[in-house]
Chain A
Amino acid sequence: AQSVTQPDIHITVSEGASLELRCNYSYGATPYLFWYVQSPGQGLQLLLKYFSGDTLVQGIKGFEAEFKRSQSSFNLRKPSVHWSDAAEYFCAVALGFTGTASKLTFGTGTRLQVTL
């Protein structure tokens, strides 16, 4: 069965510093890959997604992610973090495509804290 691992439960960075959130998946073929963000009291918002093509994907709010097949990873990055980026970040994979939000498997999330 497919699985998603986010090894970092909690990360703290200073405002203006760069950020990388790790995501590893376990699946034999290339899955569909997603990053979501959940701000306190809000629903999950899609940051970016990878289906095929260029392995470096640009998303909203200045985030990007790179798909590395050899490492089964899809790490999320941002060059300069803003205090408003403090939130919980979820990586998700889908086994094939069966619908926009169907059968996504989520990681346990990484909580990002930003210090001023």
Chain B
Amino acid sequence: NAGVMQNPRHLVRRRGQEARLRCSPMKGHSHVYWYRQLPEEGLKFMVYLQKENIIDESGMPKERFSAEFPKEGPSILRIQQVVRGDSAAYFCASSPGRDMNTEAFFGQGTRLTVV
């Protein structure tokens, strides 16, 4: 059973371009969470999605950032018109449910560099 797969592992974008980060949850997991880790900081919650629904996006920046988790395919975190400050490691986690006794599994992250 493959773990949470994130791709690409490294992504370089020029200022103003779009960045698309993909997250394939573990098999059987319908809950996905995105986190961002800025340099020298801890991971910060961005968004929580369940298949086709955004459950909680309270950590998402108001502009340029969006996330989706379609019925088929991976979850996508999209950043439009990237700026230098978007350079960070973006982590995805998935879980089979939201019960407190279920565990969420994290991917290896995507390191975004904006030049």
- Residues of A that sit less than 8 Å from B by CB: 4, 32, 36, 41-46, 51, 90, 92, 97-109
Contact = CB atoms under 8 A, between A and B. Distances in A.
Interface residues of B, number: 32
Interface in B76-97: 91, 93, 95, 97
Interface string B26-50: 0000010101010011111100100
Given A100-B95, A102-B56, A103-B48, A43 B42 contact: no
B3 A103 contact: no
Contacts of B45: 102-105
Most buried by B among A51, A97, A100, A106: A100
8 contacts: A36-B106, A44-B93, A100-B100, A101-B104, A103-B48, A103-B56, A107-B42, A108-B40
Contact of B103 (A32, A97, A100, A109): A100
Most buried by B among A92, A101, A103, A108: A101
B74 to A, nearest CB: 15
A103 B42 contact: no
Contacts of A46: 103-104
A102 B42 contact: no
B12 interface: no
For the residues of A in contact with B, the DSSP-based class is: loop
B14 interface: no
Given A43-B3, A43-B105, A99 B31 contact: yes
B110 to A, nearest CB: 11
A87 to B, nearest CB: 13
B108 A42 contact: yes
Contacts of B106: 36, 43-45, 101
B59 interface: yes
Contacts of B33: 99, 101-102
B55 interface: yes
B58 interface: yes
A99 B98 contact: yes
